[in-house]
Amino acid sequence: MHIPDGYLGPLTYAPLDAAIVPIWAVAASRVRRHLKARQIPLMSLAAAFSFVLMMFNVPVIGGTTAHAVGALLIAVLLGPWAACLAVSTALVIQALAFGDGGITAIGANCLNMAVVMPFVGFAAYRLVSGSAPDLRRKVMASGIGAYCGLVAASITAGLEIGLQPLLAHDPSGHALYAPYSLQVAVPSMVGIHLVVGLLEAAVTMGVVAALGRTDPALLEMRPASKPLTWIGGTLGLLILLTPLGLLASGPAWGEWDPAAIKAATGYLPAGLQKLNGVWTAAMPDYAPGFIKNPYVGYIVAAFTGTTLTIAIVWLAGLLMGRRRQDTVSRPDEEPKMP
């Protein structure tokens, strides 16, 4: 679901890039007001978990691959606004450092996976779980929410890609950007994620069940009552297991390189060719150039990405907390007498 550069034309990516900025601003304001300082480490680890989870590609329909995201899980623990910032951070790092998702498509990718996914998923979770304290109901609700959120995000991604032939094409009718119509893009994207949604639901339910037994306070959006050491250990184990994501062959649907698109359609869209490769990542495809073994390189990339994610989210959380403290502690200025 990481839309690459060249798939979306400026009529699509420019408004979405502009729209995501005020969404981030609102999210930062909400998090600054409601997130407690003791929850910042959890938010950092949750963002890193999302980053690593997206590196586990699994085979799906037609020889393509896909992955889970973990956005609803973060929303359950910290709220959907915190999930928006956490997943957005992971997505921006993936695009800038690893070339996973386009620079021009950051707004679209964040809208799909960091806005639509956590908010739709959280609405479904709240609808099913209600106010009941029963853990089994919360676990079931988290699975339903995760599934609904992922499928909803796949719909918006399919619409963004499928609109391109209508928005921009040359005189011969060839699309300038993504060449797949709405009739192809939406069913294909949704069909794949109807399957992957089962994985997203299973992962979310498993983690929610584990957290509900070990630290129920987390499921009430309260600070952890126990040290988060075991969560960090689990994250480290996942990093070591990331090479499993290389076992699934084939790209994700809608993430083919220009040569594959030309082979499939018989032509190479001019706009896609121009925008493709507009950004050169430091570790493209999570493959550090100085490491020959792809599995070792994948682990190094996973460690690098999670470290960056944790550091950026933690620093942002500290800065937001400091601003909130300054605002609360600063006495109101007395009006000056004329």
Q: How far apart are CA 338 and CA 323, in angstroms?
A: 31
- Is 229 inside any structural domain? yes
d(CA 296, CA 277): 25
Confidence of residue 324 (pLDDT cuts 50, 70, 90): low
Mean pLDDT confidence for 311-316 = 94
Q: How many CA atoms lie within 13 A of 67 on its CB side?
A: 27
> Which among 179, 162, 206 is positioned nearest to 270, based on CA atoms?
179
Q: Is residue 174 part of a domain?
A: yes
What's the pLDDT score for residue 248? 86
Is 336 domain-assigned?
no
334 exposed, middle or buried (CB, 10 Å; 0-12, 13-18, 19+)? exposed
Radius of gyration of the chain (CA): 21
Cα→Cα distances 202→69, 135, 142, 153, 239, Å = 12, 15, 9, 18, 19
Residue 332 confidence class, pLDDT cut points 50, 70, 90? very low
**What pLDDT score does 34 carry?**
87
Q: Burial-class residue 67 by CB neighbours within 10 Å (0-12, 13-18, 19+).
A: buried
Q: Is residue 183 one of the residues assigned to a domain?
A: yes
Q: What is the pLDDT of residue 322?
A: 67
Give residue-wise pLDDT tens across range 194-229.
999 999 999 999 999 999 999 999 999 998 888 888
**Tokens matching residue 40:** 């910042």
Domain count, the chain: 1
What pLDDT sits at residue 37?
85
Weakest mean pLDDT among 14-28, 286-300, 314-328: 314-328
What percent of the chain stands above pLDDT 70?
Answer: 95
pLDDT of residue 320: 80
* 54/117 Cα distance (integer angstroms): 14
Average pLDDT (68-85) is 96
Contact 274, 6 (CB under 8 A): yes
Q: Which has the closest alpha carbon to 309: 129, 117, 51?
A: 51
In the chain, the amino acid numbered 299 is I
Q: Which amino acid type is present at position 220?
A: E
Give the whole-angstrom CA distance, residue 94 versus residue 286. Answer: 9
SS3 state at 107: helix
Residue 37 resides in a domain? yes
63: left (phi over 0), alpha (psi -120 to 50) or beta: left
Give the tokens for residue 222.
Answer: 């309260």
325 — pLDDT class (breaks 50, 70, 90): low
Average pLDDT over all residues of the chain: 92
In a domain, 309, yes or no: yes
**Percent of the chain's residues with pLDDT above 90:** 80
Q: Is 65 helix (H, G, I), strand (E, B) or coil?
A: strand
Residue 143 belongs to domain with CATH number: 1.10.1760.20
User: If pLDDT is split at 50, 70 and 90, which confidence band does 329 have?
Assistant: very low
What's the rounded mean pLDDT across residues 288-302? 96
pTM of this structure: 0.93
Residue 47 has pLDDT above 60, yes or no: yes
17 found inside a domain: yes
In a domain, 32, yes or no: yes
Range of the domain at 64: 10-329
